[in-house]
Structure 1
Amino acid sequence: MTAVTVVQQPPTSLSERAYHAIQDKLILLEIPPMAPVDEVALVEELGVGRTPVREALKHLAVDRLVVSYPRRGTFATAVDITDLAYITDIRVQLEPLAARRAAEVCESSPVRAEEIAELAEATAALDVPALSREELMRWDMRVHRSMYAATGNPYLSDTATRHHNLATRIFCLFLDRMTDFADHVEEHAGLLRSIAAGDADGAADACRRHVLGFEQAVRAVI
């Protein structure tokens, strides 16, 4: 896969590192929906103590990715297709706003614009058929998280990321039934180019179409 700068801050603590690692496992369904979360195994795999893992799980519960039950333990939440409409209702408002703000930042920041333009060209150059399912989803997350981070608004970024994560779990659930990934990647490239060019209106419109198109693509294979 092509290497590219990602506009994202690295974790600053053990609990944050554990949070991001476990989050990705849940989003990509490495921990399947409704499966128990094995704290001991995560401690060993991540090389952190039990406290950071438990702190991470508390955060992930707020994100609706895990749920804890007294005397039973912590489980990955179910992936319910009926939630797609609710998630889209929020994303169709947040994502175009994030794209608009990111474009406005790029208009006044040549450095940020160059970073986003670099990601756009790397995205356009992807050999989509050669990508594994995990590589495809990680690239999708990279594009969206870089856009959110480029807004410079941590509250917008956090909220948009949380809902994109929930949408990505649904995407992963039906990924094997879906086609036209080249079009999906092409949309990402076009969106990023609009942001890098400082085209706020164009970026917002492209992002809105992308979010609505995602919901339509999922519903087409249910």
Structure 2
Amino acid sequence: MRTSAAPKSNRGSLSDHAYETLRHRLIMLDIAPGDAINEATLSDELDVGRTPIREALKRLESDHLVVSFPRRGTFASNVDLTDLSTISEMREVLEPIAARKAAANLEATRREEFTAMISQLRELGTDVGQRTLMEHDLSVHRLIYGSVDNPHLTETLVRLDDLATRIWCLVIPRMPDLIGHIREHIDLLEAIVEGDEEAVAELAADHVRDFDRTLRAALR
């Protein structure tokens, strides 16, 4: 019989597991905006105690992905489409900085990961589903953020990308060329591998601006 709380030595890893799993579901809208978060159900489903679930939910509330109300419970936060402009404003500044840092600090092992990602993107066919394309987009951005030697910048960009992805998931059926948007990453990743800091900064900013324009067109 599973106990309701993990030993202290394992609690951190269990909380991290719960956090990563729930965060992904929230940003991909597998947990829809406004849905109630049931701790008991999640505890059984993820096979962890209530304490790691609560710890994960506290972190997700700081990420603005869930919201808690006294005596009512915890819910997936609503997606505010008006946030797009402020999110894009910050990403247009920070994404080029991250891309520059990735290009300047790319180590051999990480270079192999970038090369493998480029190959994956080149192999994407027109028959690939929207969900798969979205997963690739997340993987590309996480790869870049993970190559930045600045944890504060990484944390901020992950949070902004999560919020942008939730907006994207709402309008994705109205996007005409999703695979084209995903393939835009190829030039950016190649420039990072080549260490071309000027090019990566420009490409990263252009990508954010194109993302913003595309979403605004879909929202009309």
| TM, length-normalised to structure 2 | 0.91
| CA-CA distance at 1:190 after TM superposition | 1.2
> What CA distance in whole angstroms lies between the structure 2 residues aligned with 1:86 and 1:80?
11
Task: Tell me the equivalent position of 1:214.
Answer: 211
Are residue 121 (structure 1) and residue 119 (structure 2) matched?
yes
**SS state at 2:71 partner:** coil
Shift of 1:152: 2.7
SS of residue paired to 1:210? helix
Structure with larger Rg: 2
Query: Which aligned runs of 4 or more in structure 1 are off by greater than 3 angstroms?
Result: none
Aligned residues with identical type, % of pairs? 44
The partner residue of 1:186 within 169, 183, 186 is 183
Q: Which stretches in structure 2 are left out of the alignment for 5+ residues?
A: 1-11
Tell me which amino acid in the other structure corresponds to 2:182. Answer: V
What is the CA–CA distance in structure 1 between the aligned matches of 2:176 and 2:45, rounded to whole Å? Answer: 34
> Are 2:23 and 1:23 equivalent residues in the alignment?
yes
The residue type equivalent to 1:72 in the other structure is R
User: How many Å separate the matches in 1 of 2:75 and 2:53?
Assistant: 14
The equivalent of 1:4 in structure 2 is none
Following the alignment from structure 1 to structure 2, what is the Cα–Cα distance between the partners of residues 40 and 179? 40
CA deviation map 1:94-145 (0-9, x unaligned): 1111111000012xx2332222122112112112x32223212111110000
Q: Tell me by how many angstroms 1:45 deviates.
A: 1.5
Output the amino acid matched with 1:194.
A
Q: Conserved in 1, the CA contact under 8 Å of 2:133 and 2:179?
A: no
Greater RCO (Cα-Cα under 8 Å, separation 6 or more):
1
Equivalent pair of 1:145/1:161 in contact (CA under 8 Å): yes
Letter of the aligned partner of 2:119 in structure 1? E
Deviates more, 1:161-170 or 1:147-156: 147-156
TM-score, length-scaled by structure 1:
0.90
Show the 5 A alignment for 1:1-222. Answer: 13-106=13-106, 109-127=107-125, 129-222=126-219
> Residue type matched to 2:82 in 1?
T
Unpaired runs of at least 5, structure 1: 1-11
Alpha-carbon distance in structure 1 between the residues aligned to 2:48 and 2:186: 37
Question: Separation in 2 of the partners of 1:134 and 1:55?
Answer: 28
